[in-house]
Amino acid sequence: MTAVNTNNRAASPLAPEWLAVPADLNALHQPLWAGDVDRNDDGELAIDGIPVSELQRQYGTPLFVMSEGDFRARARAFSDAFNNAFADICGGVDVYYAGKSFLCSSVVRWVEEEGLRLDTASGGELAVAARAGIPGADVALHGNNKSDGEIHRALDMKLGRIVVDSLDELQRVAKIAEGRGEQAKVMLRLTPGVHAHTHEFIATAHEDQKFGLSMAADSTDQAGLSAAEEAVAAATGYAGIELLGLHCHIGSQIFEPDGFAVAAEKLLRFLAAMQEKYSIVLPELDLGGGYGIAYTPVDTPRPAAEIAEAMAAVVRSTCADLGITSPRISIEPGRAIVGSTTFTLYEVGTLKTVRVDADTTATAGNQPENVTYPRRYVSVDGGMSDNARPVLYDADYSAILASRTSTAAPELSRVVGKHCESGDIVVRDVYLPEDVAAGDLLAVPGTGAYCWALSSNYNYLARPGVVAVRDGSARLIVRGETEEDLLNRDMGV
């Protein structure tokens, strides 16, 4: 394998400021990948020793390729880090894997085998959990608009918790549970006024969003009561409700622990006030998820242990200040466990280069001169139907030539899909070798979370399969769709 030094190659003026020309186009930036992904002696990308060409031969492309060993290792890392950090505070932490990020029966079994619990957000996700055989006591149900059927299913499965999002829903859950002669185990989801971003957080008085019960004092018609407090008061009076505690979720793709710490302190102070005012015990507090991963070389996620220690320090000090016993803490990592375990494998099709206007910097009093620069479009055999995040969230990804190495110079490229949509972008900006050609394989890392889960059949493309690799062996855990699968739902055929 030959390394190509590109340090002397100038960056394209069309590239975003954060995107540097890689020192070696063939090298993997390891934080983006599962731990068992590397290039083999032939220069081909391989996972646990299996080259990508063999995966393409067996399963075709596009293809989601997941490391089972890496998934299990990341799950254990979260469990170990948080249990160690909170051991002296509340005896450890309950880790719920956020199934919305990626869920199938195999993943449910891995979660259970690694000692984690499962967080679901719909009746469909509950169906997967039931089919996989995980005990209902280890499952939570989220959602801002649960149907009566979903609530009944949660009670049928004897779920460990139903996370209630509103006063209306609290009343509905109570009514259904009472009608069955049962008690629903309920957590109340609150909006603590902390909206965390990747590198900053801001505290606001109100949360303008569909989720949760506001903690602001003027958020209900009852003078002086917030929606959150009104829900606590109501829950204590319902025969069909067992109020376990409080829940919050402050955002996604968060790198810094500060926002988590602010939210934890606010909820603990509210919990203490509710316990004293209503003479109750709220034994649980869920601090949600949203822990970030690296999608590009400039992303710098914090290790699980660092986040855990920061959160534990706030919980410890706040509980001591309030003079209360800490509730049992739980968290809900999803992306942080599954995101980097997976890459998507594509085959390159058509390529074209366009000239794009870019303003040069004015010098010596001269006016800026309009100059054009090349941008290459590299089309692949998937696109927004297997990764909607770039078009939905303007998300950035990276990509690498996977089927071989190259000594060619870097060229700024845009990896695009095959859909009839101008916004069908897989990787907006990436440097790839100039000699990338039709038939080459590209790999896009970090596609384990919210890619298959958000996939669609736009343009009647069949959704790709998911292959799990462990101990040098690959197997399908989600079968890719066929055209026949799509046509079988068309009742006019």
Q: Active-site residue numbers?
A: 420
Cβ partners under 8 Å of residue 484, min gap 6: none
Q: Which amino acid is at 455?
A: S
> How far is residue 354's CA from residue 246's CA, in Å, rounded to a whole number?
54
Residue 53 tokens, joined = 């060409």
For 130, 251, 347, 453, the CA distances from 56, given in Å and listed in that order, are 32, 36, 9, 22
Q: How far is the C-alpha of 162 from the C-alpha of 155, rounded, in Å?
A: 9
Closest CA to 330 of 138, 114, 126: 138
Distance of CA 10 to the CA centre of its chain: 34
Name which of 5, 84, 133 is nearest 305 in CA terms. 84
> CA 47 to CA 474: how far, in whole Å?
9
Task: Tell me how far apart the alpha carbons of residues 112 and 97 are, in angstroms, rounded to a whole number.
Answer: 10
Q: What are phi and psi of 9, to 5 degrees?
A: -85, 125
Place of tokens 């590209």: 442
Tell me the CA distances in angstroms from 348 to 53, 170, 441, 466, one per residue in order: 13, 51, 6, 19
Please, is 182 exposed, middle or buried when counting C-beta atoms within 10 Å of its C-beta (0-12, 13-18, 19+)?
middle
Element at 308 (helix H, strand E):
helix 304-322
C-alpha–C-alpha distance, residues 79 and 176, integer Å: 34
Q: How far apart, in Å, are the Cα atoms of 20 and each of 6, 188, 343, 408, 442? A: 10, 45, 22, 17, 19
Nearest one of 409, 395, 382, 406 to 296, comparing CA atoms: 395
Query: How far is Cα 159 from Cα 186, in angstroms, rounded to an integer?
Result: 10
DSSP assignments along 66-120, one per residue: EEHHHHHHHHHHHHHHHHHHHHHHHS-EEEEEEGGGS--HHHHHHHHHTT-EEEE
Write the DSSP symbol of residue 137: G
